[in-house]
Amino acid sequence: MKFNNIPKNLPSHVAFIMDGNGRWAKKRFLPRKAGHREGVKTMRRIVNECFEIGIPFVSVYAFSTENKNRPQDEVDSLFKLMEEYFTEFLSELLEKNICVRIMGDVSYFPESLRNIIADAIKKSASNSGGTFNIALNYGARDEILRAVNVAVQNGKQLDTAAFSKLLYTADLPDPDLVVRTGGESRLSNFMLYQCAYSELFFTKTLWPDFSQKLLYEILNDYSARERRFGKVKP
């Protein structure tokens, strides 16, 4: 059953906006952090699945620049989950030859978490079996402004290829497909430059409920889409 129905035309890069953890918990009369905990399990399962079926680049929106304005105990529980995730699953990622990349400014994260993240990046840097790109304290407007300021300082005009190299995603292909769970149909400051021609898929499914079956349905939907990148059909 596992490898049935894998579409031929897979995206090279799929990005997930993992929304709905809080509502998943609320429906079960659980604290929001229980939803995030379940969300991490789902992330691990789905990201592994993507690599296993042959998608080489996977991005996730794990913590936005706006998320730090949530109540401190929720922010702390997310930090704790991140520490646990990297501690428990780094060996799995290394075993699978996955390279970990972070996009965002983690300078304000607790030192212990920053050290764990730096260790994951360092240990996996030369891995070539897939790239797991995690957005942490990330916002696309911040990312673009950061790149513009570097460009201004360098005093040179840039083309799109050179500008792309100043983004956190330097050397990663743009996402072919962005999936957002939780029922909202928006990008919420996620990879705004890189998503210019991405296919978008919105589902009401809450992130912790996201399944392999739904992943395959979305990939099948993607593979049937005609991507023209602004050109006319030949």
Non-local (6+) Cβ contacts of 13 within 8 A are 55, 56, 57, 58, 59, 172, 173, 174, 175, 176, 177
Active site residue 115: no
Taking CB atoms, the residue at the shortest distance from ligand FPP is: 22
User: Whose CA is closest to 186, among 140, 136, 134?
Assistant: 140
CB of 223 to ligand FPP, least distance (A): 26
Among positive and negative, which fits the CA dihedral 131, 202, 82, 37? negative
Per CB under 6 A, residues contacting ligand FPP are 18-23, 36, 39-40, 43, 62, 67, 78, 81-82, 85, 134, 182
Q: Can you tell me the distance from the alpha carbon of 146 to that of 139, in angstroms, rounded to the nearest whole number?
A: 11
Of 4, 5, 9, 19, catalytic:
19
Of 5, 9, 48, 67, catalytic:
67
State which residue, 40 or 172, has the beta carbon closest to ligand FPP: 40
State which residue, 84 or 165, has the beta carbon closest to ligand FPP: 84
State which residue, 33 or 166, has the beta carbon closest to ligand FPP: 33
Q: Can you tell me the distance from the alpha carbon of 84 to that of 79, in angstroms, rounded to the nearest whole number?
A: 9
Q: Can you tell me the distance from the alpha carbon of 81 to that of 83, in angstroms, rounded to the nearest whole number?
A: 5
State which residue, 67 or 189, has the beta carbon closest to ligand FPP: 67
Active site residue 119: no
CB of 233 to ligand FPP, least distance (A): 38
State which residue, 166 or 208, has the beta carbon closest to ligand FPP: 208
Q: Can you tell me the distance from the alpha carbon of 103 to that of 137, in angstroms, rounded to the nearest whole number?
A: 8
User: Whose CA is closest to 9, among 140, 134, 207, 177?
Assistant: 177
Among positive and negative, which fits the CA dihedral 102, 197, 147, 108? negative
CB of 184 to ligand FPP, least distance (A): 8
CB of 136 to ligand FPP, least distance (A): 7
CB of 222 to ligand FPP, least distance (A): 22
Residues catalogued as catalytic: 19, 67
